[in-house]
Amino acid sequence: MTRTFRTKSMALLLGVALTSGLAACGGSADPEASAAGTSASSAQAGTGGDAAPASADAPVVVLKVAADAVLKEDYATLDQLAASPNARVVVSGKVVEATPVYQEQVAYTKLMVTVTKSSSNSVAVGSTVVVYRDGGQIPLSQVLPDLKSDQMAMLPASPPANAVVDFRFMGSEQSAVGDEIVAFLQPDPNPGRAGAYQLVSSVHGLLKLDRKSSTYHRLGDEKRAGYETSANTATAEAFTRRRS
């Protein structure tokens, strides 16, 4: 059984703040320096849990870290989110690569997204943009030096070589290759990420399409009154219309 460790911050030891729209933002080194070697383009990042992996190369979740934080921007509705002055561009597209990144004890996923619709001339339809989102499945070998004793106790006696720690930020599922999304984006201000984007309102600024229901679901686990958790295809993709 995979066990879950809960923390108030994605950082395991030092309380390092996430850099994607949280109340406190820390600096970060080159994000590629500690990127995990296996991209979800070759071994898709799953949604965690105890299900058997799809193949021998698929990641095996041995520990879940559930993290929460106070967001700088926290919008109840999608209209409010789109009206944020930081929402420089809204795109729809497909995730073609999802690479886990671990730096300064914080987990991210670097998404490569092929754009199908865009609200701004600055991002062309057909182009591929880089988007960093909070949370990800990080190889255990990278996380192991930072684990506390109580977290170490949750690990299996002999973890497999492809063991990962599943960092779930604000209850959000992980992103994977093939996801069709609508994303509310701002330029990523972190060092080493020139030209990349991050989500406005962290995972709350990312919507994933459920093909069966033709509904976009907003990532994150929010149950507060008045919080908009989903939108039909027409409503969600309307935010990608060109702005004057």
Average per-residue pLDDT for the chain = 82
Q: What is the pLDDT of residue 172?
A: 96
| 243 domain residue, yes or no | no
8 Å CB contact between 11 and 105: yes
CATH of the domain at 132: 2.40.50.120
Q: What is the pLDDT of residue 69?
A: 86
pTM: 0.80
| 14 domain residue, yes or no | yes
1 — pLDDT class (breaks 50, 70, 90): low
Q: How many domains are contained in the chain?
A: 1
| 54 domain residue, yes or no | yes
pLDDT above 90 covers what percent of the chain?
69
Stretch among 17-26, 108-117, 158-167 having the lowest mean pLDDT: 17-26
Q: What is the pLDDT of residue 68?
A: 87
- C-alpha count within 13 angstroms, C-beta hemisphere, residue 9: 18
Parent domain of 117: 3-238
| 244 domain residue, yes or no | no
| 107 domain residue, yes or no | yes
pLDDT at 4 over 70: no
User: For residues 151 and 164, what is the distance between their CA atoms, to the nearest angstrom?
Assistant: 13
Rounded mean pLDDT of 73-92?
Answer: 96
Q: What is the pLDDT of residue 182?
A: 98
| 120 domain residue, yes or no | yes
Q: What is the pLDDT of residue 15?
A: 29
For tokens 């182009």, name the residue. 127
Tokens of 140: 């255990």
| 201 domain residue, yes or no | yes
- Give the pLDDT confidence of 218-229 residue by residue, as tens digits: 999 988 999 999
Tokens of 174: 């992980």
| 95 domain residue, yes or no | yes
